[in-house]
Chain A
Amino acid sequence: MAPELGEFALVLALALAALQAIAGLAGPWRGGEKLMALARPAAWTQLLAVAVAFGCLTYSFVTTDLTVRYVAENANAAMPLLYKFTGVWGAHAGSLLLWILILAFWGGAVALFSRRLPRVFALRVIGVMGLVSLGFIAFSLFLSDPFIRALPPPPSGADLNPILQDPLLALHPPMLYMGYVGFSVAFAFAIAAMIGGRMDAAWARWTRPWTLAAWLFLTLGITAGSFWSYYELGWGGWWFWDPVENASFMPWLVGTALIHSLVVTEKRGAFKGWTALLAIFAFSLSLLGTFLVRSGVLVSVHAFAIDPRRGIYVLALLAVAIGGGLALYAWRARRLAATGGGFGLLSRETMIVVNNVLLVVACAAVLLGTLYPLFYGVLTGGRLSVGPPYFNKVFIPLMVAMFVFIGLAPSVRWRRGNWRELGRRLLWPFVIALVLAIIVGAVTWNGGSMVLVAGVALALWIMVSALAELARRIIQAPAGRRLRLSRAAWGMTFAHFGAGVAVLGIVVSSLLSSYLNTSLTPGQSAEVGGYRFVFADARRITGPNYRGEQGVFHVFEDGQRVAVLRPESRVYLQGMPTSESSISWKPTHDIYVAMGQAVGEHAWSFRLQVRPFVRFIWFGGILMAFGGVLALADPRYRRRKTGGGGP
């Protein structure tokens, strides 16, 4: 019964999304009062209908209803309860439904929080959201229906891909989708403004909180994904430049640029056309990511089952949505001519231009690297893959420039900066960062290098200058209001400081990690990074839906036992082997053992690692997201007078 109910709810949602689009877009145009009044209720009931559909699919998973084909393909009765919930979005059809749910959620939120906006503008935003929903619900219903029954049911279900059976992965896709899909709001705001032909500082102020919210979810999602791949995939890497990782990273880069250019548009009325374009791009790249993941045009560990019809549908959706947005932009660009005042070469505006150029070029470089194999294949019929060497070579110099400017920008005044004042403000942060970096270089001289000193200096420069700028603003604020500095300023400090923390983690862990791949039998030991890893024992283990072996390692430092690690090598019911690494979290570094396949009667392959500062990478990501939360909490988005639209 549940699948039929879900199907019905989804059909209903399709109709409601159509109504939402018509009421929101055609309503203001034809001037139908009754029609316009329907837009908001349509958005809310659409959310309700989609939630019911999603709930029905979840119910089918939790009860392991094997007559539902999608459930039978991705779940079995032995699976732990948590993964029956997360299994819902473990494969294509269900993750698409999650996408639709989140889209409906954002649509509902916009309908709720846009009542203080000019009426016609708000209706158009809701209408555009409805149009996007319509496209995706139709995709689900006609090409990847999760509710189809398969009769007779198979005797037992398959299994969720075992590497996806992880608590953190319960969080990763929903976070990522909140971010991806959240950019649809910025997109809808840009489209609505261009339809109306008016785009001003108020528009930027309405768009900012939505963009920030999407950005902070995306930041958390990427951070969670990176952390997951670090401990789950078993070789201690935290970023692979995999096409699907890139697909989430590109909207993040453009979204970060958008957050900054919105500030200029809000404060100075400048960059309007560019900001609108970035808003279109951020969502376009989210759609592109969806296309890449679902069409199977690229090889990726994440890619879903290949079905060319789905690929063509998403491609058409992408062409219509982005093409429509860009055509509207081309048509209206003249009206978006800059009205903001001019600015000098040294000014906050220039700094944000630099930020935007670097981020967009970095995004273009990632896009090129991701799509190059496809271009190459289409043009020559050959095959190649673009790996980390390309990305590192192109991306790192751009980011180094970026990080130098992160330290500078907040201290530069709007409109016209003053070189001397800038020098005075930043001399001490610069000196402190450099001295600390040299100390670090001296302490780690054995494994260190000039690259390490430079990298650490860069990271410290970002952190120290962020703190210095905060301190300066607090000191210069009128007495008594010092701690009531705007939340946006606190948010920026956290975000920039977090970027510095992440850079520190990346630099130190990349340059000072040590690892060893070896095969050991019980009783043998190996030396890595100043620790002695003793392989004490191996025992058989049986889990609810897997069996395997667990190795026991005792880790010694100077004869003292400092950790006991229990890595596992599992084989899941469906036959897929996975490695569960075991990590000891020391204050400054991780001791990490991953257990591979058996290589002999009583021998297994192991990867032993000592990774200093690696957790700073994700801690930095969390700090950045927290900065986003603070900025979002800025009361000016809620003030009635300014027509706030924040959630």
Chain B
Amino acid sequence: MKRKFVWAVIPLLVLAVLVAVFAFGIDRDPRAIPSPLIGQPVPAFSLSTLNAPDAIVTSAELPHRVLLINVFASWCASCTVESEALDWLAKQGVLIYGLDYSDRRDYARAWLEDWGNPYEKVLFDPQGEAAVAFGIYGVPETFVVDASGRVRHKFTGAISVEAAKKKVLPLVRKLEAES
């Protein structure tokens, strides 16, 4: 009888272990998959800008300083949420490049008028060529590029104002101090 009781408790113990692991696992963001681009140079691209269809910007022409490349689109609802944080970052003097992904020029221009334009330049990528090179799988995404033109960090999803203050700006300042 005693042995039988021991067996009966085992399922309960297994459950306790499982629940403990889940409780620890719950805070981990499964989507925070490190981008294979981390530590690599910015992928080569050659795109027109949103306002000047004839002006081509290539990856080689990026300025040699710390900057953010923010992937957005006028059809992206979370990008409207993010615009406040980006405006704030721009006001702190952070250089932000936009990558307008899978979009139309007229829509994107109207969108920037509505929600504000924190971007130094907006690269226009209607076919998603550069987006593929960057490994975009959801919009918005934001890449942090250091002064030597290497990708140092990737933020997936909309950046909140709080995250901009606590994570993005400190990271930018740290990278600026490095160079």
Interface residue ranges, A against B (CB under 8 Å): 73, 154, 158, 273, 277, 280, 284, 291, 295-299, 303, 306, 308, 311-312, 315, 318-319, 322-323, 326-327, 329-330, 333-334, 337, 371, 374-375, 377-378, 383, 571, 573-575
Contact = CB atoms under 8 A, between A and B. Distances in A.
A571 B19 CA distance: 41
28 contacts: A273-B8, A277-B11, A280-B11, A295-B26, A297-B28, A298-B30, A299-B30, A308-B27, A312-B23, A318-B19, A322-B15, A323-B12, A326-B11, A329-B8, A329-B11, A330-B11, A330-B12, A333-B7, A334-B4, A334-B5, A337-B4, A374-B22, A377-B28, A378-B21, A383-B33, A573-B75, A574-B75, A575-B139
A323 B15 contact: yes
Q: Which of A375, A571, A575 has the most CB of B within 10 A?
A: A575
Contacts of A311: 26
A12 B167 CA distance: 44
Nearest to B75: A575
B52 interface: no
A327 B139 CA distance: 46
Contacts of B31: 296, 299, 306
B33 to A, nearest CB: 7
Contacts of A334: 1, 4-5, 8
Contacts of A337: 4
Interface string B1-45: 100110111011001101101111111111101100000000000
Contact of A308 (B15, B26, B77): B26
B4 A297 contact: no
B133 interface: no
B76 to A, nearest CB: 7
Give the interface residue-count category, chain B.
20 to 34
Contacts of B160: none
List of 6 A-B pairs having minimum Cβ-Cβ separation, nearest first = A333-B8, A299-B30, A330-B8, A326-B12, A311-B26, A378-B24
A297 B30 CA distance: 6
Interface of B: 1, 4-5, 7-9, 11-12, 15-16, 18-19, 21-31, 33-34, 73, 75-77, 102, 139
Contacts of B33: 299, 383
Which of B8, B19, B22, B139 lies at the interface centre, i.e. has the most chain A CB atoms within 10 A of its CB?
B22
Given A333-B5, A334-B1, A573-B75, A319 B25 contact: no
Contacts of A378: 21, 24-25, 28
A202 B113 CA distance: 72
Contacts of A371: 18, 21
Given A277-B11, A295-B22, 8 more contacts: A284-B15, A299-B30, A326-B11, A330-B5, A330-B12, A334-B8, A378-B28, A575-B139
Nearest to A311: B26
Secondary structure of the B side of the interface?
Answer: helix
Contacts of A312: 23, 26
A291 B28 CA distance: 15
A330 B25 contact: no
Nearest to A331: B8
Contacts of B139: 575
Contacts of A383: 33-34
Contact of B26 (A297, A573, A574): A297
A413 B9 CA distance: 34
Contacts of B11: 277, 280, 326, 329-330
B3 to A, nearest CB: 11
A8 B7 CA distance: 46
Contacts of B75: 573-575
A374 B12 contact: no
Contacts of B18: 371
A371 B21 CA distance: 10
A326 B26 contact: no
A318 B18 CA distance: 11
Given A326-B12, A330-B12, A573-B75, A375 B5 contact: no
A326 B33 CA distance: 36
Nearest to A323: B15
A375 B18 CA distance: 9
B25 A297 contact: yes
A297 to B, nearest CB: 5
B19 A315 contact: yes
Nearest to A571: B102
Given A326-B15, A334-B1, A374 B25 contact: yes
Contacts of B8: 273, 329-330, 333-334
B140 to A, nearest CB: 12
A575 B4 contact: no
Nearest to B19: A319
A308 B33 CA distance: 18
A243 B70 CA distance: 31
A330 B27 contact: no
B115 to A, nearest CB: 13
Most A-side CB within 10 Å, residue of B16, B26, B28, B76: B26
A377 B29 CA distance: 11
B24 to A, nearest CB: 5
